[in-house]
A and B are shown apart, each in its own frame.
Chain A
Amino acid sequence: MKTAQAGTVESMDCLVTVSEAEPGTGLVLNLAGSSVARFSKAMEKAVRETLEGLGIRDLAVSVQDNGALDLVLKARLEAAVARLKEGGESA
Chain B
Amino acid sequence: MRLRRTMLYLPGNNPNMLLRGHLFAPDGLILDLEDAVAVREKDAARVLVRDVLKRGEFGSCEVTVRINGLDTEYWRKDLEMLVPLGRLDGVRAPKVDDAATVRLLDEALSEIEEKAGIEVGRIKIFCLLETAKGIFNTYDIATASPRVAAVIPGGEDLTADLRTNRSPEGTELEGIRRSVIVAARAAGVDALDTVFPRITDDEGLRRETEFIKQLGFDGKSVIHPNQIPIIHDVFTPTEKEIERAQKIVAAAKEAAERGLGAVQVDGRMVDAPVVKRALFTLTRAGLLEEGTEHA
Residues of chain A having any CB pair with chain B under 8 Å: 6-8, 10-13, 68-69, 71-72, 74-76, 78-79, 82-83
Q: A11-B16, A13-B16 are in contact. Are A75 and B48 (CB under 8 A)?
A: yes
CB distance from A26 to the nearest CB of B (A): 24
Residues in B with CB closer than 8 Å to A75 are 44, 47-48, 50-52
CB distance from B55 to the nearest CB of A (A): 6
Bound CA–CA A69/B52 (angstroms): 11
Q: Are B43 and A83 in contact (CB under 8 A)?
A: yes
Residues in B with CB closer than 8 Å to A13 are 14-16
User: Contact string, B28-55, partner A, CB cutoff 8 A, digits 1/0?
Assistant: 0000000000000001100110111011
Bound CA–CA A75/B14 (angstroms): 12
Q: Which of B13, B14, B52 lies in contact with A71, CB distance below 8 A?
A: B52
Please tell me the size bucket of the interface on B: 10 to 19
Asked if B19 CB lies within 8 Å of chain A CBs, one says yes
Bound CA–CA A74/B55 (angstroms): 12
Residues in B with CB closer than 8 Å to A83 are 43-44
Q: Are A76 and B19 in contact (CB under 8 A)?
A: no
User: Contact string, B184-211, partner A, CB cutoff 8 A, digits 1/0?
Assistant: 0000000000000000000000000000
Give me 9 other A-B pairs in contact (C-beta within 8 A), A75-B48, A82-B43 excluded. A12-B15, A12-B19, A71-B54, A72-B48, A74-B51, A75-B44, A75-B52, A76-B47, A79-B47
Chain B contact residues: helix, strand, loop or mixed: helix
CB distance from A66 to the nearest CB of B (A): 10
CB distance from B7 to the nearest CB of A (A): 22
Q: A71-B55, A82-B43, A83-B43 are in contact. Are A76 and B16 (CB under 8 A)?
A: no
Q: A12-B19, A71-B55, A83-B43 are in contact. Are A76 and B14 (CB under 8 A)?
A: no
Q: A75-B51, A79-B48 are in contact. Are A69 and B43 (CB under 8 A)?
A: no
Residues in B with CB closer than 8 Å to A74 are 51
CB distance from A51 to the nearest CB of B (A): 15
In the complex, which of the residues A6, A75, A78 has the most CB atoms of chain B within 10 Å of its own CB atom? A75
